[in-house]
Structures are given as structure tokens and as C-alpha cells.
Amino acid sequence: MHAPAVDAAWYDAGTNERPEPAQSVLPRYWSSQQRRSPLSLLVVPPLRRCQTAVAKMTTSVPRPGPANLGPNAGLDEWLEEAKQCHYLPERAMKELCEKVKEILMEESNIQPVCTPVTVCGDIHGQFYDLLELFRVAGGMPGETNVQAPKSATAVITSEDIEPPTEITNPKLRKKLKSPGGGGDSGDAEGDEDGEEEQQGAVDVPAVNTVTSSQSAETRFVFLGDYVDRGYFSLEAFTLLMCLKAKYPDRIVLVRGNHESRQITQVYGFYEECQQKYGNASVWKACCHVFDFLVLAAIVDGELLCVHGGLSPEIRTIDQIRVVARAQEIPHEGAFCDLVWSDPDDIDTWAVSPRGAGWLFGDKVATEFNHVNGLKLIARAHQLVNEGYKYHFDESSVVTVWSAPNYCYRCGNVASIMTVDNDLAPKFSIFSAVPDDQRHVPASRRSPGDYFL
């Protein structure tokens, strides 16, 4: 059973892009210049606003650029440079990729993780928001002097509000505070018109505002899509690899659909590596790391973490354990479905408009959880304006989204999900860092080049 190719409109915005294995993956109506410029998919803030932000920039904000390493620099020095948004020299980057690949080769397709755990959704090269994510979480592994978050932060539990079950109108913040206040729903898939209507900023709900303090035992599970679309895919993935190399038991890197040779050649990571190194060798080294990223993680045996969703070819989690993962993501089959599928308001299965993976419904998720003794499936892969979203009557699936103000234009908040030994999820909601707390690449595209 497999998903047939769909010759339909182009889907994007982190919710509906599709690869086309036998043809070009670019829209037919793009100009030749647009086809040559995958980074034109990135949105650039207006020049005047950028200039104002630079004028306000404090010296404590990491300034992007090449790393300045000594001849005997090792992992500790690489990590410190990565925290400053510095990309490593080509030789060091290849060595880092080899170190991480060796660690990943020892991990199973479904990596077991013990609580306490922080689950993180899509990052998409938004480096400064990744730093904010760690501040909200209480710091990176091994970090002792943790700064306070730059934006307002709220921790939401079931005692505060009912988790949002629909993608709601951003203006309905007050309704989110009352149980059952789902509000008006938008298009969960987010086509061009739907996303344009949702560009207004989403306020952080004013509940239990706190500064998180991380346990020394906290582990991080990242659900994939580390690269593409954002300005600093290379630096974001480098930071995560450095943390994985130094703290292998505290960082789990799950594979997303963007950890792929085909997709990264279209959505920016390939061109970014070309611009910064003058060749594709680092991109190739990163792609080899992609091939060994785990397919899923399981928290205390009861919470499954995966990038996309379920597959009609997989009934038990043991079937995930035997998938051959050390390869480019196939265009169909169980592996493809795990990184491409989405939950939807249906009973069983439907063809996905993405052209890869499937739409799966309430009955499928409930049965899968029952058969495998799971309480919840946590996944990413879809933009959610409120940062997280429960699906289905049984709340058997939750989407976690960790890229605030996605593509620097969507106005959404982001979340991370923390789980302690009671397996009761708590969501820390945060916004994008202010303009004066981030840098924008000098080589950014002009607004006229933006195309979605």
C-alpha cells in the first residue's frame, strides 16, 4: 500500500511541500532565475526595520561568521564557536560529522529515552530562536549560567486551559484561557491564502509565566527539520551536532522530511553551504549524518516521538525497529510515511495532498496507541499558530512546533513540551526573539525575490 503521486498545486509553508521523484520538484510556473535561487523562498524583513534593529544590537548577541579556531581546537572549542553562530572550518565540520555519525550508528531506529524529557519541534535554521528555545528550557546540556528568555514565556498544563484542538484565529487569545475555548478554526494545512490570513502575531497566553529551570538529567528530543528556510541552517545544525557529540545521551535527533538531499537542494541548505564554503563537501557530509538520524524516540515506553506520523504499513512499533534507515528518504513506504504523514479529521487513511505520506485519522491513531501500549504520539511537521495542537477526541496525537514567527513572517508562537515521570505534558510557549537580539545575513535576498 503506497501513496500515489499527486499532480496538484504546489504546497509549502512547512505544511504542504512535496517532492517529485521523477521530475523537478520546483513549480512549473517559476522563472529560470527563481529555479536557480532556492534561498528566494526565505522572507526578508523590510530593510529599514533591519537597519533599526542593527542600530539597537547589543554586543552580547552572537554575531554570525566563520569560527576562529586554534590549530589544536577540539569539540569543546567547536561547541563554544557554534553557540556564537559561527560556522566551523570545512575540515572541522567534516570531523564533527564523522563523530556524530559514529554515535548515531549505535542508536536504534526507535531510541529509548527516560524522563525528564523536553520535546522540540521544527527548527528550520532559525538559530537565534533555537538559542531562545534552550533558554526557555532552562539551558543547554552542561550549561550553568543560563540567561533568561528574551521573550515572554508561559507554561501551560491541563489545569490552565484545554489544549487547543484547532488552529485558531490569532485574535482569540482570551478564548484560549477558558476551557473548551477552541475559537474559529483555520486551515490546518496552511495553503498560500490561508497563511496570508494568519500572519498577525499570536500573543503568548498569560498563564503561569515562569523561567524554567532544567534538571541536570533533562534530555532533549528534537523531532527533525533542523535545516532549510531559515537564515542559519548550517549554524543551527552545527550547534545540535556539537551538543550530540558532547552529550550523546542527553540529545536525541530524530529525522525529519527536510533531512534529505532532494529537499535541501530546493529549500536553502544546499545553497547556504555553497555560499559559506564555496563547495558542496560540507553539505554532503551533513547529508551522510542525515542518513543515520533515528526514525523515532520512545519516552518511558509510552510516548512515541516521530517527525510526521503513522503509516498503513506499520501496525506495531517493532516494525519501525526493522526499517532500513541508513539511506536517502524513499519516495514511498513506511520510512517515507514516518516523516511525511499528517493527522487529519478522518477515520482511517486518505491520500495526502503533499504527494508523500498519508493523512491518518482518529481511529488509526487510537488503535495504534492501544496495540502498542502508548499514551500519546508527539510529532511536528505542521505549523501551529499557538505552538502546539492536540488532535482527535482522545487527544492521542499532539503537534509540537518550535519555530516562532516561522520564516520571519508568520507571526506564530512556538512551544516545547516537557514530560516528567508522570507523563503529563506541559507546554512552554515562547515568541521569536526581538529584532535587536538577532542578526540577519548581509547576503540576504531582497523582498522582491521572495516567492512562496
pLDDT at 186 over 50: no
Query: Treating both helix axes as pointing N-terminal to C-terminal, what angle do 75-83 and 90-105 enclose, rounded to 10 degrees?
Result: 110
Task: Work out whether the CA dihedral 433, 434, 439, 442 comes out positive or negative.
Answer: positive
In a domain, 138, yes or no: yes
The distance in angstroms from the start CA to the end CA of the chain is 32
Q: Report pLDDT digits (tens) over 137-164.
A: 999 999 888 888 887 778 877 555 454 4
d(CA 266, CA 282): 17
Give the Cα separation of 398 and 413 in Å (integer). 16
Taking only the tens place, the pLDDT of each residue in 241-277 is 999 999 999 999 999 999 999 999 999 999 999 999 9
In a domain, 8, yes or no: no
383 or 201, greater pLDDT? 383
Q: Exactly one of 258, 307, 381, 439 is catalytic; name it.
A: 258
Classify residue 195 as left (phi > 0), alpha (psi -120 to 50) or beta: alpha
Residue 307 appears among annotated catalytic residues: no
Is 256 domain-assigned? yes
Q: How many Å apart are CA 297 and CA 291, to the nearest integer?
A: 16
DSSP letter, residue 390: E
Angle formed by the axes of helices 233-246 and 90-105, nearest 10°: 50
Mean pLDDT (the chain) is 81
Per the structure, the complete domain to which residue 360 belongs is given by: 47-167+203-449
In a domain, 26, yes or no: no
CA pseudo-torsion sign 314, 317, 319, 323: positive
As for how many domains the chain has, the answer is 1
Distance, CA of 195 to CA of 108 (rounded, Å): 37
Instruction: Tell me the CATH number at 307.
Output: 3.60.21.10
pLDDT at 150: 83
For the four alpha carbons of 68, 69, 74 and 77, in that order, the dihedral sign comes to negative
Secondary structure class of 225 (helix, strand, coil):
coil
Give residue-wise pLDDT tens across range 206-230.
Answer: 444 444 455 668 999 999 999 999 9
Query: Is residue 320 domain-resident?
Result: yes
Q: Is 2 a domain residue? A: no
CA atoms within 13 A on the CB side of 193: 1
418 in any annotated domain: yes
30 assigned to some structural domain: no
**What integer pLDDT is reported at residue 314 of this predicted model?**
98
Among all chains, which residue has been given the C-alpha cell 491513531? 365
- Between the alpha carbon of residue 273 and those of residues 130, 243, 314, 429, the distances in Å are 19, 20, 36, 31
Q: Is the pLDDT of residue 287 over 50?
A: yes
For the whole model, what pTM was predicted? 0.78
Q: Look at 12 and 273; give whichever has higher pLDDT.
A: 273
Beta bridge partners of 429: 154, 415
Say if strands 296-299 and 110-113 run parallel, antiparallel, or are unpaired. parallel
